Amino acid sequence: MMTPLFTLTPASLLALALILWLLSGIACWLVAASARLSSLISGAGSMLASLAVITAALQILHSGPAQRITLPVLAYTAEFSVLNGLLLLAMSVPALFCSLYACAWLKRVDRRKRAHTGLWCNLLMAALTASAVSANATELILMMEMAALCAYFLIVQTDEVKSRRAGLNQFLCGRLGTLCLILAFALLHHASGSVNFEVLRHTEFTAGVKSVAFLLALTGFGLYAGIIPLHAWVPQSHSSAPAHAAALFSSALMKMGILGVIKVGLDLLGAPPLWWGLVVLLLAILTAFIGGLYALMEHDIRRLLAYHTLENIGIILLGVGGAMVGVALNLPMLASLALLAGLFHLFNHGLFKTALFLGAGEVEMQTGIKDMEKLGGIARLMPWTAVAMLIALMSMAALPPLNGFASEWLLYQSLFQLSNSHVLIARLLGPLLAVGLALTGALALMCIAKVFGVTFLGAPRSQAAANATPAPLPMTLSSVLLALLCVIFGIASPWVIPHFSAVATSLLNAPLMPFASHDTVVSGIAGVSAPMIALLLLGMPILPWLIASLLRGNRLPNRLRGDAWACGYGHSPDMVVTATGFAQPLRVMFAPLYRLRVCATPAALVASLHQGWLGAFCRRLAFIELAVLLVVAFA
């Protein structure tokens, strides 16, 4: 009896997904002349691949101890662990909705952009999926490098100065990150004789080797994750690439950097010393605060969202750094709670940030504008997009009962646990980090007011904004469904959190936390019920409305809408608050921090790096390198 080539095992599903991404990307490139056919092949193929990865990830999360398996057909050695399964899930759910968005987006662009975007996006996801389950350092570096090169080609598609500069920044940062990773794992190979992750876990390294390897790996993975001050490539890259590709940068590519920090800091090198965790915590709060602060100065909506991605990378790293400190101090409750918060926020960030990038892409597609100063009044013309973006913005600002609130609340609890440590520096850092996280949350709240108020409310500030129409159904549906998931994972957090807790405790080899089998959010620790918050928030506005509707009778007729009150003067669009005016107080208050960016990147250095010959040389080098990597991968 013949064995079927593909079954429903995780290995077969991942192999099927990789093949689907490769074949659909190549087919889209070949038939790009037909807009309908190429968009259908690329989008549908990527959606099927994402569904296969989601199914495989759910199986891996419930499969028990880690295991090494060779994928059928591809002969690729993969490591299946709960951490890898969680990352696959966090990457593939946003990828599913990005693929749905691409079905409509690809139809509306020219042949060249359609061919390149369909090919590079699918190849990007294939490389990231393979890197997420890599079983040794060679596979990991090879696939991450391939993903970074695909991102480069997505950025430089448009022949504009900004796109070329963004692509060059990303290319140089990516190559530097890869070099640091090669040096880190070469050092570990020299000490252990292997780059296999299972061998590295059971090798005793000297303190010096571990520390040097950790710093090199933190730099390399930090360049991929965009940890400040290693973030130079992030803002303009997200603005230059197509919107759904930018969403994949935030939800998948940068998350591989986070996975690398977790692997090196908590998995491969054994128990970390205290100073490792403190370094990660300091970089995390710097990244979160500076990212949120710089976001408020941006007028380009996608650059603003990119800076908020940096903010959320910092929030995730607060959980990772807290876990490292907990392991170093032998505090399993702190370590498990902090890592749980970081992993849950890693997943949640992929949902709300993808919804925001896709929503911004819909606005850009319908108006041709990314500058918020030229928008306004979009909510009346694109209501479903406005609602989806409002929900996602509220989740990004950690407002209850959405998913961003649930994960950040856990993070606050871990910082309070850190404050109760017996080590003085940890007791000092706990309150300071909690205050820093609160300030970051305040900046995110201001961002809601700026993005939604300036972009969607008020009067249109340009003819293009006034003539906007709703986006095509697949594009609108992609952002609306993601916003719905933000609500679901927030309200259902009492039932979701135990699954993330199992991942954290499995990685740390710690006992299950007390709330892992209860139906309340962190029972005995957080004391917050997300479903109750949701009911109260729904009841507060609905109950007065019901009372007023029942008791008013015929006394209060409905009022007619008119112009906004302007102190007796005729209202005009010029009176509406602008993005510049909204952020002006912060620009004055934090002027030294904003000047720091100019001081850190002197004009002479920037001019020398962005000479025409260097960009052209890097573009040719990227083609050669990608061709070599593809040959090596298939060989």
Taking residues 2-7, report their average pLDDT.
Answer: 51
* Separation CA 221–CA 267 (nearest Å): 15
Contacts of 124 (CB under 8 A, 6+ apart): 147, 150, 151, 154, 245, 248, 252, 253
Q: Is the pLDDT of residue 553 over 70?
A: no
pLDDT in tens, 455-496: 888 778 888 888 888 989 999 999 999 999 999 998 888 888
Greatest mean pLDDT among 331-340, 384-393, 523-532: 384-393
Q: Where are the domains of the chain?
A: 10-135, 327-544+574-583
The per-residue pLDDT for 308 is 92
Burial category of 122 from C-beta neighbours within 10 Å (exposed 0-12, middle 13-18, buried 19 and up): buried
Higher pLDDT, 544 or 574: 544
Taking residues 327-331, report their average pLDDT.
Answer: 88
Q: Is the pLDDT of residue 403 over 70?
A: yes
Poorest-confidence range of 109-123, 140-154, 227-241, 575-589?
A: 575-589
Taking residues 440-456, report their average pLDDT.
Answer: 87
Q: Is the pLDDT of residue 559 over 70?
A: no
The per-residue pLDDT for 4 is 53
Nearest to 88, CA basis, from 33, 136, 137, 51: 51
The per-residue pLDDT for 1 is 37
Poorest-confidence range of 244-253, 501-510, 573-582?
A: 573-582
The per-residue pLDDT for 635 is 67
Higher pLDDT, 1 or 546: 546
On the question of a cis peptide bond just before residue 514, with omega within 30 degrees of 0, the verdict is no
HSE of 613, CA atoms in CB hemisphere, 13 A: 1
pLDDT in tens, 55-89: 999 999 888 777 888 888 888 888 898 999 999 99
Of all residues in the chain, the percent with pLDDT exceeding 70 is: 84
For the whole model, what pTM was predicted? 0.90
Q: Is the pLDDT of residue 301 over 50?
A: yes
Q: Is the pLDDT of residue 359 over 90?
A: yes
* Separation CA 149–CA 144 (nearest Å): 9
Q: Is the pLDDT of residue 527 over 60?
A: no
Higher pLDDT, 602 or 303: 303
pLDDT in tens, 304-322: 999 999 999 999 999 999 9
The per-residue pLDDT for 565 is 66
Phi, psi of 440 (to 5 degrees): -60, -40
Give, in order, the Cα–Cα distances in Å from 225 to each of 323, 346, 436, 567.
Answer: 18, 12, 20, 49
The per-residue pLDDT for 582 is 64
Q: Is the pLDDT of residue 232 over 60?
A: yes
* Separation CA 325–CA 560 (nearest Å): 60
Q: Are 19 and 57 in contact (CB under 8 A)?
A: no
Q: Is the pLDDT of residue 616 over 70?
A: yes
pLDDT in tens, 262-286: 999 888 888 889 999 999 999 999 9
Poorest-confidence range of 60-74, 513-527, 561-575?
A: 513-527
The per-residue pLDDT for 333 is 86
pLDDT in tens, 125-154: 999 999 999 988 999 999 999 999 999 999
Average pLDDT, the chain: 85
Taking residues 23-31, report their average pLDDT.
Answer: 91
Q: Are 371 and 422 in contact (CB under 8 A)?
A: no
Taking residues 315-335, report their average pLDDT.
Answer: 91
Contacts of 514 (CB under 8 A, 6+ apart): 523, 524, 525
Higher pLDDT, 171 or 630: 171
The per-residue pLDDT for 463 is 87
- Could you tell me the pLDDT band of residue 254, with boundaries at 50, 70 and 90? very high
The per-residue pLDDT for 160 is 75
- Could you tell me the pLDDT band of residue 528, with boundaries at 50, 70 and 90? low
- Could you tell me the pLDDT band of residue 562, with boundaries at 50, 70 and 90? low
